[in-house]
């Protein structure tokens, strides 16, 4: 694990790059759109609603990432308009109060089936965003960079709701499982894991209350810096930058160290994953992308 010092000064510029941002009309996505623009990129935003403030030089497409056709149109627009797609910041997401495991009854007195909006947006919408990113980027020799907005709740979830935490753990799991498939396509995929951030997702009164209690609720601009960093650094793949209390830390290395303790050969010979077993597992559970 390493603490990182990220500033606009020590991150490369993005001249000639085309960046697509989902959920770019508010909060972290909007801050990223402004930052990417400042750093020279051409920016396309896909969101349910237009950006909260007018951004000269940024194009906006009304997009619902839970709708396949809507998402396909967004990527097609980008391809037709700009002929390339270098960066995708897969950031759209929803959070908020949850009562999925409470007993909510319908008019007939029977338990109602919960609605899983966060799963639709944060997980299925995300998987489809990444699928379409790979579809477009694999056609380019230059490949591309995908940055996913996960969350601190993708690693530990003592505070978040169980559905939100499931989706963010899912985002991290997706990144780990895609890890070996993307380098041959010249595609890099990394995550950011923000802590409390002052955005449309956290009610203003909630932000004020947390701050009164001494909690640091960081600005979205800080989080956007981590997305910019990962978009530009060729040496980063399958890494997560946690952005918490305005500080940056790469945390997948910590997971890998813990993973070695839990499953590794070094920890008391518990692992049965010999090269022969690994080859067999690869054949049995054939995965292609
Ligand atoms: N704010 C925090 O404290 C915090 C912490 C950790 C992670 N995050 C994550 O950051 C990401 C960005 O959220 P934010 O905090 O900036 O909140 P936000 O509400 O300000 O921005 C989210 C954006 O996503 C868009 N969106 C929602 N559903 C969509 C859909 N179906 N299709 C297209 N766009 C959609 C919204 O319209 C909005 O513009 C989310 O993935 C969120 O889970 C936020």
**Which residue carries 């603490």 as its tokens?**
3
Choosing from 164, 247, 255, 266, the catalytic residue is 164
Q: What gap in Å lies between CA 153 and CA 233, rounded to an integer?
A: 25
Give ligand 1 pocket residues (Cβ under 6 A).
22-23, 25-29, 47-49, 63-66, 91-95, 121, 125, 149, 151, 194, 196-197, 199-202, 220
Residue 277 has a pLDDT of: 82
Closest ligand 1 atom, residue 66 Cα: 31
Q: Is a pLDDT exceeding 90 seen at residue 286?
A: no
Mean of the per-residue pLDDT values of the chain:
94
How deeply is 271 buried, as exposed, middle or buried, from its count of CB atoms within 10 A (0-12, 13-18, 19+)?
A: middle
Q: What is the pTM of this model?
A: 0.96
Exposed e or buried b per residue across 74-88, where buried means at least 16 C-beta atoms within 10 angstroms of its C-beta? bbebbbeebebbbbb
Q: Is a pLDDT exceeding 80 seen at residue 210?
A: yes
Domain locations in the chain as residue ranges: 2-285
Contacts of residue 27, Cβ cutoff 8 Å, sequence gap at least 6: 197, 199, 200, 201, 220
Helices assigned H by DSSP within the chain:
27-38, 68-82, 117-118, 126-137, 162-178, 204-212, 220-232, 252-263, 275-284
| Section 134-150 average pLDDT | 97
| Pairing of β 247-250 and β 240-244 | antiparallel
Does 96 or 168 have the greater pLDDT score? 168
Residue 52 has a pLDDT of: 86
Residue 268 has a pLDDT of: 55
Q: Is 164 a catalytic residue?
A: yes
Of 104, 122, 123, which is closest to residue 113 (Cα–Cα)? 104
The phi-psi region of residue 104 (left if phi > 0; otherwise alpha if psi is between -120 and 50; otherwise beta) is beta
Q: Is 168 a catalytic residue?
A: yes
CATH number of 2-285: 3.40.50.720
**Which residue carries 């590794």 as its tokens?**
264
Cα dihedral across residues 282, 287, 288, 289: positive or negative: negative
* DSSP letter assigned to residue 154: G
Contacts of residue 29, Cβ cutoff 8 Å, sequence gap at least 6: 21, 22, 23, 45, 47, 89, 91, 92, 149
Choosing from 60, 155, 168, 236, the catalytic residue is 168
Give the total residue count for the chain.
Answer: 289
Contacts of residue 138, Cβ cutoff 8 Å, sequence gap at least 6: 185, 187
248-275 pLDDT, tens digit per residue, is 999 999 998 888 777 766 655 556 677 8
Closest ligand 1 atom, residue 217 Cα: 3
Of 288, 174, 207, 191, which is closest to residue 249 (Cα–Cα)? 191
Gyration radius of the chain's alpha carbons: 20
């Amino acid at each position: 694990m390493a603490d990182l010092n990220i500033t606009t000064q020590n991150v490369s510029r993005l001249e000639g790059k085309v960046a697509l941002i989902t959920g770019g009309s508010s909060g972290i996505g909007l801050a990223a759109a402004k930052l990417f623009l400042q750093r020279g990129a051409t920016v396309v935003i896909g969101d349910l609603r237009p950006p909260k403030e007018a951004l000269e030089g940024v194009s906006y497409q009304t997009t619902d990432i839970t709708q396949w056709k809507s998402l396909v149109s967004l990527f097609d627009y980008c391809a037709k308009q700009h002929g390339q797609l270098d960066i995708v910041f897969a950031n759209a997401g929803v959070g908020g109060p949850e009562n999925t495991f409470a007993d909510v009854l319908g008019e007939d007195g029977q338990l109602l089936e919960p609605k899983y909006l966060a799963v639709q947006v944060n997980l299925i919408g995300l998987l489809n965003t990444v699928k379409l990113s790979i579809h477009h980027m694999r056609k380019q020799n230059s490949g591309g960079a995908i940055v996913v907005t996960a969350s601190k709740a993708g690693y530990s979830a003592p505070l978040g709701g169980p559905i939100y935490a499931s989706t963010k753990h899912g985002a991290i799991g997706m990144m780990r499982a895609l890890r070996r498939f993307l380098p041959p396509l010249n595609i890099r995929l990394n995550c950011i894991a923000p802590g409390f951030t002052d955005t449309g997702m956290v009610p203003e009164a909630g932000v004020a209350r947390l701050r009164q209690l001494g909690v640091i609720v960081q600005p979205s601009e800080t989080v956007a810096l981590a997305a910019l960093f990962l978009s530009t650094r060729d040496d980063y793949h399958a890494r997560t930058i946690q952005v918490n209390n305005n500080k940056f830390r790469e945390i997948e290395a910590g997971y890998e160290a813990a993973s070695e303790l839990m499953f590794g050969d070094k920890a008391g010979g518990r692992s049965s994953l010999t090269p022969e077993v690994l080859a067999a597992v690869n054949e049995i559970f054939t995965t292609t992308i």
